[in-house]
Structure 1
């Protein structure tokens, strides 16, 4: 009761005039239990409950050879088959590693990635996930910082000789294994025996932050947080024995948590594209009768463009979950019209396993368009003054903070960074700016680090991006601060044109902005991009745009 009274008191405060005001605080909704399960437990339960249900469907571009030495690239696994392979993988891993050690997987979205994820969970190993686009120095950083003792990798992918890179960094680990040898080495031998005890609070993964602002940090996440959070996301999206098409990378929590574990906890089928290709994904939705898809805004834009060029039957598609970046209102309208499904934005970050807030397909259009929804179960959320830490009144903008079962254990081997992010009372500082209304709906307004300060005025890129995105000639946009001797910073806007052969003129975009933005928010520097620098999960890396500007590589938009 003490915790309840404290939470209730934190929702209200008297102002200087004695008036009671509602505060931007949402107490944890405890109506749905936290799942005391490991990832391995979740798979065992699914295999016992629905052994013959299809668990994974492999999707590979036509004509591409298997990266794992398999005879086919359209394979399927039932939950019973997946458990058998995962247990065999666990025994294989334990031939080389001990429970508690960290092994890194550096490979694209092959089904064996999921087998290794479950195998490591059953073996009590901690999985370190690495983006297959990393170069030698970046991969070396991940291996060294995580203190990984093993590396499982692909031979090559998308023109990158990954085996050569591994030879360059092999001295960082005890053992390496190429998944091209999977069939001959892992599947060829049946292994049995007793697997170690693994507990829900044990570490499961080291997930590196996506690096939109610089050098990544490894968030150490536990089984309880990953499994429970994935089940909550699936529940709010209405996924139950469904078909989930997710092109999100497995090295990201959107892939290995929301997608893999969201499916296993709802006995759903995970349709796994090897890579994100709009035609490949749309064809998979049509063929497999997918009812739920997950993507970031840049992916949804690409799907819309491809659907206009080559229409597919998407009548089975019910919901598109969208995360990774705030969703402009205009994109929500375009998706619901162009893909014929509900768009439900989510909000979270790696450090929180990952989702904190989520809209529901049943939410009002204005709530889906103007917020990231309400907090999921079992998490407290508040909006505070980033300087004083004081909880702000509803509607006031501040830093979003969260506290609950899903918080990371900490940044691996980074105690100072952990202390800066997790406060003494357990609140995780997200670094995101936003507001909360009296119903608990949270709107993301930007990043503290992305905020532009022009002559003392705070400017939030997301507001400007939403205005520009509504222009028909703009396919995508990124707004960022440009250093200026007089103002400190001015507003820069990089656009990707809907028709690259006929980009909009600066004057046209200025006139469009003038109708919706105050003069001090108007972009004064304009750039054109054929593509944006993205993280592996599809987020725009604005710090790289600034680097391109400084080096002269960022092309200016014609007037």
Structure 2
């Protein structure tokens, strides 16, 4: 382990051994070498409905999906995947890789306004979707915006792929040629601008980044990964789906997070690793206190997505008998870039986000762009194989994030100690992280200010023991209008996902502003507190 840094810069020493392969090659090689090993388990609450697929069967399902996709789409087309965590979504994601198609992941909580932006900006040629999600008719939502999407020529239920495959799909091993640097996933992130941007991720990063994470977490070949996180996130689509294949392990896919179901799956499926946000861990600890389970197989819980309370890590170790690995990353870097080791001290787990993963260059820079001395705060920047190709069709946004030397600027303020351990000290922007979901206030402010009862709106995050942060809105009402919380909540829910809708409302006479007219959110926060 390195020691005695004086400048906050972590360089890669010597060539880093990357696996120069693609997702199709990885899947085919794993099926050849470990075809009879269980690859995927549907984490259904009823064990009688808990279907399993070997690696050979997983490859077959991917080939059927690829065959169907090849009939309507060309390599390089972008096809959206919109729905819940289901095995069919995994088949579709892997089938798209075999067909050379770029998958656009979409949060199933999105409403028409949010969906329209993603499909229009990605220029999606098609969308594969579930019929419904939590009572919402996804097909009806697509139909309502279809006229505004001239490039969208195909909408299928994800269940249809198997039936639409060519009869000879399983007898043919032909697939679209792809290279490690080719794009594979387009995952949208609010980032720090308020406008959802599509981070274009490549095969090299999708294969190597989750392997580096898994190895540091102490995950081994043949282990079992209990996936609690959604497939529209990097943590689901990259780390769990591809990471489990790369490690030739078993992926247990939860249909949704439920603390009781998670513990049941750990016990019955002998789960060894899971990635969670702090809110999930809190729910698991409450559940196991009331309903004990056998968690002896659980080796590591990786936690990220918001500030990780030290007490939560200690409680998890004591109640679950496992180690904790704190992670930090972004969609733009294929997931995780720094991580603590399970063997790290309690102090390092509590106060840092660990050291950079292999192959990652990292530096903490001051206003002049130069690395600061160790212990000094600055912006966290990274460079390496894990950096995205760019934001899709947004060159200016890409240039603002990735500089001419290839350094990706995170927007987070951090410090590094003499051993190379990094700690986050704050965010240079106003991003809110609620239960692992990135939320930008500007988007919500725009929606609120479209309501005739709102003269001005300011949205910020407030610390919360359960969610990490919650969304809080300060409203300057228009005279004579109904600006009740009930009305404003309904207005937001008609246009925004539930997790973006403010949970606390404050009516104020005016918003504190700078002489140039910018809202002083630090002052507003003090006023609301």
Same fold judged by TM-score > 0.5? yes
Is 1:406 the counterpart of 2:391? The answer is no
Distance 1:212 1:162 in 2: 28
Preserved contact between residue 60 and residue 73 of structure 1 (Cα < 8 Å): yes
The C-alpha deviation readout for 1:358-383, integer Å capped at 9, x for no partner, is: 11112222211211111011110000
Is 1:278 the counterpart of 2:254? The answer is no
RMSD: 3.4
2:60 matched residue in structure 1: 84
- Cα 1:419/1:175, change in 2 over 3 Å: same
Distance 1:152 1:408 in 2: 24
Residue 376 (structure 1) aligned to one of 340, 354, 357: 357
Is 1:56 the counterpart of 2:40? The answer is yes
Residue 133 of structure 2 aligns to a residue whose secondary structure is coil
2:208 matched residue in structure 1: 228
Is 1:299 the counterpart of 2:280? The answer is yes
Is 1:176 the counterpart of 2:155? The answer is yes
- Cα 1:98/1:551, change in 2 over 3 Å: farther
CA drift of 1:299 comes to 1.1
1:458 matched residue in structure 2: none
The C-alpha deviation readout for 1:6-54, integer Å capped at 9, x for no partner, is: xx9xx99xxxxxxxx8100001145751111111111111111111110
Is 1:46 the counterpart of 2:30? The answer is yes
CA drift of 1:539 comes to 13
The C-alpha deviation readout for 1:269-328, integer Å capped at 9, x for no partner, is: 001001111111111111101011111111111111111222211111110011212312
Distance 2:353 2:270 in 1: 27
Preserved contact between residue 129 and residue 207 of structure 1 (Cα < 8 Å): yes
- Cα 1:210/1:306, change in 2 over 3 Å: farther
Is 1:22 the counterpart of 2:1? The answer is no
Is 1:140 the counterpart of 2:116? The answer is yes
Residue 317 of structure 2 aligns to a residue whose secondary structure is helix
- Cα 1:223/1:62, change in 2 over 3 Å: same
TM-score (norm 1): 0.76
CA drift of 1:180 comes to 4.0
Distance 1:29 1:342 in 2: 29
1:516 matched residue in structure 2: none
Is 1:344 the counterpart of 2:325? The answer is yes
Distance 2:404 2:462 in 1: 39
Residue 248 of structure 2 aligns to a residue whose secondary structure is coil
CA drift of 1:91 comes to 1.8
Preserved contact between residue 108 and residue 249 of structure 1 (Cα < 8 Å): yes
- Cα 1:86/1:497, change in 2 over 3 Å: closer
2:516 matched residue in structure 1: none
- Cα 1:221/1:493, change in 2 over 3 Å: closer
Residue 423 (structure 1) aligned to one of 379, 385, 403: 403
TM-score (norm 2): 0.80
- Within a 5 Å distance, the mapping from 1:91-240 to structure 2 comes to 91-171=67-147, 172=149, 173-182=152-161, 184-186=163-165, 190=169, 192-193=171-172, 194-210=174-190, 214-240=194-220
2:314 matched residue in structure 1: 333
CA drift of 1:333 comes to 1.2
- Cα 1:123/1:495, change in 2 over 3 Å: closer
2:485 matched residue in structure 1: none
Preserved contact between residue 399 and residue 434 of structure 1 (Cα < 8 Å): yes
Distance 2:338 2:418 in 1: 15
Residue 401 of structure 1 aligns to a residue whose secondary structure is strand
CA drift of 1:214 comes to 2.7
CA drift of 1:432 comes to 1.0
- Cα 1:493/1:145, change in 2 over 3 Å: closer
- Cα 1:119/1:184, change in 2 over 3 Å: closer
1:316 matched residue in structure 2: 297
- Within a 5 Å distance, the mapping from 1:27-38 to structure 2 comes to 27-30=11-14, 32-38=16-22
Residue 22 of structure 1 aligns to a residue whose secondary structure is coil
- Cα 1:320/1:142, change in 2 over 3 Å: same
CA drift of 1:549 comes to 3.8
Preserved contact between residue 129 and residue 206 of structure 1 (Cα < 8 Å): yes
CA drift of 1:179 comes to 2.3
Distance 1:124 1:495 in 2: 43
Q: How many residues align?
A: 460
